[in-house]
Structure 1
Amino acid sequence: MILDLLNSQSFENIALYWYFILFIAAIFGGLVGSLSGGAGMITMPLLLLSGINPLIALATNKLQACIGSFTGAAHYYSQGLVDIKSSRLCIIIAMLFASTGAISVQFVKVEILSKILPFVMITIGAYFLFSRKISDTDRAKSPNKVLFHSLCALVSFYGGFLGVGIGTLALTMLVSIGGYGLSKALAHSRSIVFSINIASIIFFILSGNVLWLLGIVMCVGQAIGATLGAKLAIKHGAKIIKPFVICICFGISIQLIIKEFFG
């Protein structure tokens, strides 16, 4: 009786039960995103499985990701882990190049990028798994600013273009090139990811591709999960962040390889 009722009711041409499933997925995605990045690995496959158009799924996912990344960034900032002044240029770059990516994805095919991405994520997972340098301690070095900001631009374009695993990519950039300690890198990555999300969602909204009711439901879930994740990350530091990053990288890789090569 209950299943029949849920199947018979729909909003925005999506069965009602998908709202419950995606709300729970958003909570878990927000938690994972605040701990390691990669929230899209949780929410995007389910959005696509619900039967909506891929571009609409991407746009709706961006809307709820904005809330998750903002919640995480705000929590880290309130704990004194984010220096906005030092990351101001990265934020500006992120917004500019994410906007370009969001515009581009609406006119081009993403099949080639989707096939390359899993191997990029495997490389990142291996880096976090085997590198002995990763800890909560900042490494005493001056990063190559040209390389760092160029990579920030590339990551941001990808974030606006496709965005799966963007938090993990930003985190890796801050640790490997920026020399940040893991907790500090995670905190700053949330600010960069929020900048990417807020810049790209504007163009998805203007194109009319966002499902607002579903997006708002998922935003509530993201806020809950991101708050829990940020609190866990601040309390436990690298000993919880590093395993999450490794699991997310290999999880994204397996998921994408199955989808792109065997699906």
Structure 2
Amino acid sequence: MFEIATELALMLMLAAFFAGMIDAIAGGGGLIAMPALLLAGLSPIETLATNKLQSSFGAATATWAYARAGHVRPREQLGMALISACAGAAGAMVAHLMPDAMLRIVMPGVLIAVAAFFALRRGLSDQDRIQRMKPAVFAFTMVPAIAAYDGFFGPGTGSFFMTAFILLAGYGVLKATAHTKLLNFASNLGSLCVFIPAGGVLWAVGLSMAVAQTCGAMIGAKLAMRVGAGLIRPLLIVTSSAMAARLIWQNIMG
């Protein structure tokens, strides 16, 4: 049924559930899903491709939930979404051309950097702030930069989008989180357009994780709208640090 052992697939579904919940609240669900895929024995390219498949469902679910509650208007973000999709595809092309050995070295380092970002980030709230960058400038600078990172690697993309919306666009945390989801969904689709023809997607594993991711995203979006985005940051710091350490150890011993 699955391309890997059933018990590993069930473990990945559990990881995807929590990843979807965390990503809908504060972004960074990939910090759980991607290391879990790597630890399950998938190659870096299979990990990136399969993660994009399952995370697309979570991003779409969160977008729908926030839009239904009136926190975001997807039609107003279609231009940014197109830019995000193109940049995500470009990032995926870079990842696909990079040798597996180099990706195995790069991934733990990026995880540590993202963990440090979450640990050092301070003073964010749900209150709107001063706008420091005009929407058009934001769309053609921050959006493609973050979306390209998403296509190349991914973990923390939602939080990077969210923080950019807060610090540069002047949004509060909840509003920023809601507005990242369509962009995250678009960058996932763009990168999938590169990964799928290359045959890197494990479809049975990815789709089963997608079901779990969708359930987690629905719960996470509801929690975020009730308690704000600060709920999950400590968990993200601990998880990303632990996963990075495990991958470094795996590289040393392997």
- The TM-score with structure 1 as length reference comes to 0.85
Indicate the SS of the match to 1:71.
helix
Letter of the structure 2 residue corresponding to residue 182 of structure 1: V
Q: Which runs of 5+ in 1 are unaligned?
A: 1-9
Task: Assess if the C-alpha contact under 8 Å between 2:118 and 2:236 holds in 1.
Answer: no
Task: Assess if the C-alpha contact under 8 Å between 1:35 and 1:244 holds in 2.
Answer: yes
Match of 1:59 in 2: 49
Give the deviation of 1:222 after TM superposition.
Answer: 0.5
Q: 1:24/1:52 Cα in 2 relative to 1: closer, same or farther (>3 Å)?
A: same
Kindly indicate whether residue 34 of structure 2 is the aligned counterpart of residue 40 of structure 1: no
Give the deviation of 1:95 after TM superposition.
Answer: 0.8
Task: Assess if the C-alpha contact under 8 Å between 2:39 and 2:247 holds in 1.
Answer: no
Match of 1:143 in 2: 133
Which one of the candidate residues 69, 86, 109 is aligned to 1:96?
Answer: 86
Kindly indicate whether residue 112 of structure 2 is the aligned counterpart of residue 118 of structure 1: yes
Match of 2:167 in 1: 176
Which one of the candidate residues 145, 148, 155 is aligned to 1:157?
Answer: 148
Deviations 1:121-148 (A, max 9, x none): 4134312xx32xx222211435245356
Task: Assess if the C-alpha contact under 8 Å between 1:60 and 1:209 holds in 2.
Answer: yes
Q: How many residues are paired up?
A: 246
Give the deviation of 1:149 after TM superposition.
Answer: 3.3
Match of 2:157 in 1: 166
Indicate the SS of the match to 2:169.
coil
Give the deviation of 1:249 after TM superposition.
Answer: 4.2
Q: Which moved more, 1:51-60 or 1:98-107?
A: 51-60
- The TM-score with structure 2 as length reference comes to 0.88
* CA root-mean-square deviation: 2.2
Deviations 1:165-184 (A, max 9, x none): 11111111111111111000
Which one of the candidate residues 196, 202, 213 is aligned to 1:222?
Answer: 213
- Once residues 242 and 253 of structure 1 are traced to their aligned partners in structure 2, the CA distance between those partners, rounded to angstroms, is 18
Deviations 1:199-247 (A, max 9, x none): 111211111111111111111101100000001111222xxx1242354
Give the deviation of 1:62 after TM superposition.
Answer: 0.8
Task: Assess if the C-alpha contact under 8 Å between 1:148 and 1:178 holds in 2.
Answer: no
Which one of the candidate residues 190, 197, 219 is aligned to 1:206?
Answer: 197
Letter of the structure 2 residue corresponding to residue 125 of structure 1: A
Kindly indicate whether residue 28 of structure 2 is the aligned counterpart of residue 19 of structure 1: no
Greater radius of gyration (CA): 1
